Amino acid sequence: MIVAERKPLQQIEAMIEGFEKILIVGCGTCVAVSMAGGEKEVEELAAQLRIKAKLQGKPRTVDEITVTRQCDKEYLEPLAKYLDEYDAVISTACGAGVQFLAERYEGRIVLPALNTLFIGVTEGPGVWSQRCIACADCMLDQTGGICPMTICAKNLSNGPCGGTNAGKCEVDGEKDCAWTLIYRRMEKLGRLEYLKKIQPPRDYSLTTKPGRHTHEAFRQSQQEEE
């Protein structure tokens, strides 16, 4: 899932400077799970913005709505009947959601309330960690299901650097060295031989931005359309 965090209130306040009627649009998928932009967080942000305005004696109304996802058109459509009422829309989706919302409602001011962090997993209550950098060429089969492109700070694909410290990474002593993890996992799996293969340089052309992908099944029909 996409993991994000709420921006400091001060930043959001600065974005909405001068706007009176605000709508906060939440996103009920990834960022709801990462406790940054779901229904509940929208409610919290709205309460904060209301209190802040009152304390400063500013006129402001804050409405809230949370849709299932902001990265699918279907869920953005129903917003159409509301948006005209507002001076500005704050989206608590990831960067993709914010952009999609802004694209669908081009005439509206759409502002981001979150900083999008990474694709990750839930380690425990309130703790998430990165697991994938979307490199477009998965090599997890070779490394025991541990991604050196993500977990190793230097994305080394052929083994550790010289900085491994008691199994921790030289870059951040709190984090495990990816290559210690990979080696131990492959040892356990009895697949150490696989690690001997020299990995060729990565193909970064695969991640040329912006990415776009069409499912095989849809390719033909799309071509016909064009």
154 binds ligand SF4 (CB under 6 A): yes
**Contact range with another protein by CB under 8 A, out of 97-105, 128-136, 180-188, 205-213:** 180-188
Contact 69, 29 (CB under 8 A): yes
Among 34, 36, 66, 116, binds another protein (CB under 8 A): 66
The least CB distance from residue 151 to ligand SF4, in Å, is 6
- What is the smallest separation between the CB atom of 142 and another protein, expressed in angstroms? 13
Residue 116 in contact with residue 95, Cβ under 8 Å?
A: yes
Residue 122 near residue 36 (C-beta atoms within 8 A)? no
Is the CB of residue 144 less than 8 Å from the CB of residue 182? yes
Query: Binding residues for another protein, how many (CB under 8 A)?
Result: 61
- Tell me the torsion sign for CA atoms 135, 140, 142, 143: positive
Dihedral sign from CA coordinates of 27, 30, 32, 34? negative
Which residue of 73, 82, 189, 214 would you call a contact of another protein, by CB under 8 A? Answer: 82
User: Strands 61-67 and 21-27, how do they pair?
Assistant: parallel
- Whether the CA torsion 64, 93, 71, 69 is positive or negative: it is negative
User: Interface with another protein by CB under 8 A: which range of 74-82, 88-96, 137-145, 215-223?
Assistant: 74-82
* Smallest separation, CB 165 to ligand SF4 (Å): 7
- Residue 162 touches another protein, criterion: CB under 8 A: yes
Binding of ligand SF4 at residue 195 (CB under 6 A)?
no
Among 5, 20, 39, 176, binds another protein (CB under 8 A): 39
Residue 167 engages another protein in binding (rule: CB under 8 A): yes
Applying CB under 6 A, among 152, 182, 183, 186 the residue interacting with ligand SF4 is 152
For ligand SF4, the closer of residues 58 and 185 by Cβ is 185
DSSP, res 37? S
How far is 76 from 78, CA to CA, in rounded Å? 6
How many CA atoms lie less than 13 Å away from 67 in the CB half-sphere? 21
**What size, in residues, is the chain?**
226
Contacts (CB under 6 A) with ligand SF4, residues 159-178: 160-161, 163-164, 169-171, 177-178
Binding footprint of ligand SF4 on the chain (CB under 6 A): 152-154, 156, 160-161, 163-164, 169-171, 177-179
